Chains A and B, each alone.
Chain A
Amino acid sequence: MKIPVCRLADLPRGEAFRLELDPPVSVFHTDDGEVFAIDDTCTHQDASLADGWLEGCEVECPLHASKFDLRTGAVDSPPAKLPVRTHQVLVEDGMIYVEPSEAAPNLPPCVGARLAGGAGGPA
């Protein structure tokens, strides 16, 4: 499944676009001109990584200090301990598309419970 995001020209370098999927995905255009997509929700708490601090190929969560590698999803500092899910990005004719991953997301406990209807733990 290929989901259109926005035109590459409409996403300046250093900016992020939040795609309202469930769970949401954020698409980053780095200062070096690369485009990456990861789950938008920090794996530690409910925070939007699209609001985070983008530097090189890393984004720092806007609430605490965990940094995620946009290429691999790996987390390099606490308080988060789990990686974020990454998604395939395609740019065709100036348009950005995301192909959502089929792996299970690592959502923080509060968000995981909400998506599971308020009953379960993280999905």
Chain B
Amino acid sequence: MRTVAVVGASLAGLSAARCLRKQGFDGRLILIGDEPHRPYDRPPLSKEFLAGTMDESALSLEADGEDLGAEWLLGMRATGFDRDERLVRLADGSAVRADGFVIATGAAARTLPGAEGLAGVHTLRTLDDARALRDDLARGGRLVVIGGGFIGAEVASTAYALGLEVTVVEVAPTPLAGPLGHEMGTVVSSLHADHGVRLLCGVGVKGLTGAERVEAVLLEDGSSLPADTVVVGVGARPNTEWLHGSGIALDNGVTCGQDGRTSVAGVVAVGDCANWYDPAAGQHRRVEHWTGALERPAAAVATLLSGGAAEPGPVRPPYFWSDQYGVKIQFAGHAAAADSVTVEEGSADDRSLLAVYRRAGDPVAVLGMNQPRLFMRWRKQLAQASAQASALASAVARS
């Protein structure tokens, strides 16, 4: 393999480029990114960066003096992939030819129909989004956050600390029920009320009003919430439109094996756009976590460089964190697999707890609120159990 093109220049793309060099690839390396920026860290965009306590230079993911010997094509969107010619087409009409490809194009924030062109309405995914939102939050006033998920909750928490009057609107009866389950979703989202942030659940958004700038959010129950700024945090969709018709199988992102391989030889996918097979669960799972984008490229790059002969190592259970109202929230595993959840340490009332999710008595996930030490012990234990389960699944698959 003489040339590898990495499409996507955020955490997953940068991690893939680093892994390529670390695993001995010394050929031509090209990184293509649709944003004009060098790789930067996204988690602070809803927290310290938005709060103004962290500046832009601190967001950089690259170390001082780091040189991967790569060619960077930034501000350049990929528009198509040709499997026969083995090239990626770019928005300016040019193309990049390579022997191997890493697809790391991430995901884009979902928007609200009808919100286009209305000033004061934001999504939060990129540095440019965060700059624009920060400027609007500096005006103060009333913020309405549509969506009580992690992005929405973190923005609400940051805006509260900046002194805004904040309301969060969530269509589901319980926020965070998907990632955390109903019981713990209720506990974590009660942080809003603790701080005087209004949380409205079980009510949908009908639309937005305002001529040039947003004035209010209209709810399905007929009420109206006056707003100076609105943040739409209703999830993300994988950036894979450019691969339609390319022959690369797509289903909720790029369909991948447990080692990151796609349906086309010499092409692997990582990060938020990649829907990896999880052998322990026996199904595909697209994981939108920072740690997945950091850790999985090592396996995908090994697959790419070995032509698929590398044995995939165990993948750790998905792990994410969130910081809200000064509380450190950590979660690992899959809540949806659980049939019970018990608080093993601390208490919901204290907003400091460790909760273990179990299925038929076996731990499948763990949640910590301000319990980093205990949480790490459980997370490690979960990883060991998951490694054993996937080794067993691989052995069964081979026999």
Instruction: Decide if A79 touches B41 in the complex (CB within 8 Å).
Output: yes
CB distance from A106 to the nearest CB of B (A): 12
Q: Which of B107-133 contact A (CB under 8 A)?
A: none
Q: A79-B41, A79-B43 are in contact. Are A62 and B11 (CB under 8 A)?
A: no
CB distance from B62 to the nearest CB of A (A): 8
Q: Which of B274-325 contact A (CB under 8 A)?
A: 290-291, 294-295, 319, 321
Instruction: Decide if B41 touches A47 in the complex (CB within 8 Å).
Output: no
Give chain A residues whose Cβ lies under 8 Å from the Cβ of B321. Answer: 63-64
Instruction: Decide if A63 touches B328 in the complex (CB within 8 Å).
Output: yes
Q: Say if the beta carbon of B376 comes within 8 Å of chain A.
A: yes
Q: Say if the beta carbon of A78 comes within 8 Å of chain B.
A: yes
Contact among A53, A65, A77, A79 for B380, CB-based, below 8 A: A53
Query: Which residue of chain B has its CB nearest to the CB of A60?
Result: B376
Q: Say if the beta carbon of B61 comes within 8 Å of chain A.
A: yes
Q: A63-B321, A65-B291 are in contact. Are A81 and B380 (CB under 8 A)?
A: no
Instruction: Decide if A65 touches B295 in the complex (CB within 8 Å).
Output: yes
Query: Which residue of chain A has its CB nearest to the CB of B291?
Result: A65
Interface size on A, residues (CB 8 A): 14
Give chain B residues whose Cβ lies under 8 Å from the Cβ of A53. Answer: 376, 379-380
Instruction: Decide if B373 touches A51 in the complex (CB within 8 Å).
Output: yes
Q: Say if the beta carbon of A112 comes within 8 Å of chain B.
A: no
**Bound: A51/B41 CA distance, A:** 24
Instruction: Decide if B372 touches A77 in the complex (CB within 8 Å).
Output: no
Q: Say if the beta carbon of B395 comes within 8 Å of chain A.
A: no
Q: Which range holds the interface residue count of chain B?
A: 20 to 34
**Bound: A109/B372 CA distance, A:** 20
**Bound: A50/B280 CA distance, A:** 31
**Bound: A79/B321 CA distance, A:** 13
Q: Say if the beta carbon of B349 comes within 8 Å of chain A.
A: no
Give chain A residues whose Cβ lies under 8 Å from the Cβ of B375. Answer: 62
Contact with B along A52-80 (1 / 0, CB 8 A): 11000000001111000000000001110
Give chain B residues whose Cβ lies under 8 Å from the Cβ of A65. Answer: 290-291, 294-295, 319
Query: Can you list 26 A-B pairs, Cβ within 8 angstroms, ordered by A?
Result: A47-B372, A48-B372, A48-B373, A51-B372, A51-B373, A52-B376, A53-B379, A62-B373, A62-B375, A63-B321, A63-B328, A63-B330, A63-B372, A64-B290, A65-B290, A65-B295, A65-B319, A77-B294, A78-B11, A79-B41, A79-B43, A81-B60, A81-B63, A81-B64, A109-B54, A109-B58
